[in-house]
Homo-oligomer: A and B are copies of this chain.
Amino acid sequence: MHPLTNNPMEKRPLILIANDDGYQAKGINCLVDMLHDMGDIVVCAPEGPRSGFACAFSATTPLTLTCRERRPGVEIWSSNGTPVDCVKLALSEILHGRKPDIVIGGINHGDNASVNTHYSGTMGVTLEGCMKYIPSVAFSLCTHAADADFEPMRPYIRRFTHVVLEKGLPKGVCLNINFPVVVSPGEKREERGLTAVEGDYHGVKVCRMAAGTWGNEITRCHHPRGYDYYWMVGSYQNDEPEAEGTDNWALTHGYIAITPTRIDVTAYDAMEQLNTQLGIDNDKDLSPL
């Protein structure tokens, strides 16, 4: 049995889970199954897919909140809002100020490495938790398959969750954890340039974000009524495929990639150069043009 539940006198941790694939997605339900003995779980997730919603919140839409399921230790809620809306709604309207011990986004169907972190609704969940000073983690699997096999992730997700519950995370830092797909030895599979790993993960690496670029993002279509419309698609290019310390490298080489991610996006190393380029002496006015 997990040490956290060994002692009945010990208060069970409160685990808040959200995602961007919707409360019915396989990934989030597998996550609940993996963690339900480790604490009280509250799920608040969108009613349907909200991939690519980043940190968006609903400034102009009235939001709903519906309880979908209550069983011992687990509550599942849904909202018409964004992933970030779900976290904010849960903190205010479901937990009524009881602070979660951890906020988890996922398990996402699809990788959130490299620049995907900026578009990801799963990372939106995690950044939102982190901005509320709650230890926060995102789990993602490198396949978009609706029926993906999340089982190989189970012991690692339990380990990472346990460590974060025990030791917390540095203030303003959350974790973006991506898993390669595991396939049987001899089986080959590739999705968007990410090769599956045969047999088992090669290990775990703490990584930095790879530099990458999305291209060919728009597909133009012609509507039968005579106008053009567009689908957002795209192909990802790793701009530094040889760089060993990156999340993309780890994932393409069979490792679980943990990218510590910070809220403070200031480019500290660019500040001095900017002062010079913009002709700013911080104690004087800049002459306007």
User: Which residues of chain A have a CB within 8 Å of any CB of chain B?
Assistant: 2, 49, 51-60, 62-65, 81-82, 84-85, 88-89, 92-93, 115, 117-119, 121, 124, 127, 131-133, 154-156, 158-160, 162-163, 167, 169-170, 172-173, 175, 201-209, 211, 213-214, 217-218, 220-221, 227-232, 256, 258-268, 270-271, 273-275, 277-280, 282-289
Asked if B261 and A203 make an inter-chain contact with CB atoms under 8 angstroms apart, the answer reads no
Tell me, in angstroms, the Cα distance from A59 to B232 when the chains sit together: 6
Asked if A278 and B230 make an inter-chain contact with CB atoms under 8 angstroms apart, the answer reads no
Residue of B nearest to A256 (CB): B286
Asked if A203 and B284 make an inter-chain contact with CB atoms under 8 angstroms apart, the answer reads yes
Asked if A270 and B203 make an inter-chain contact with CB atoms under 8 angstroms apart, the answer reads no
Asked if B267 and A173 make an inter-chain contact with CB atoms under 8 angstroms apart, the answer reads yes
Asked if A286 and B170 make an inter-chain contact with CB atoms under 8 angstroms apart, the answer reads no
Tell me, in angstroms, the Cα distance from A14 to B77 when the chains sit together: 47
Least distance between A191 CB and chain B CB atoms (Å): 16
Residue of B nearest to A204 (CB): B286
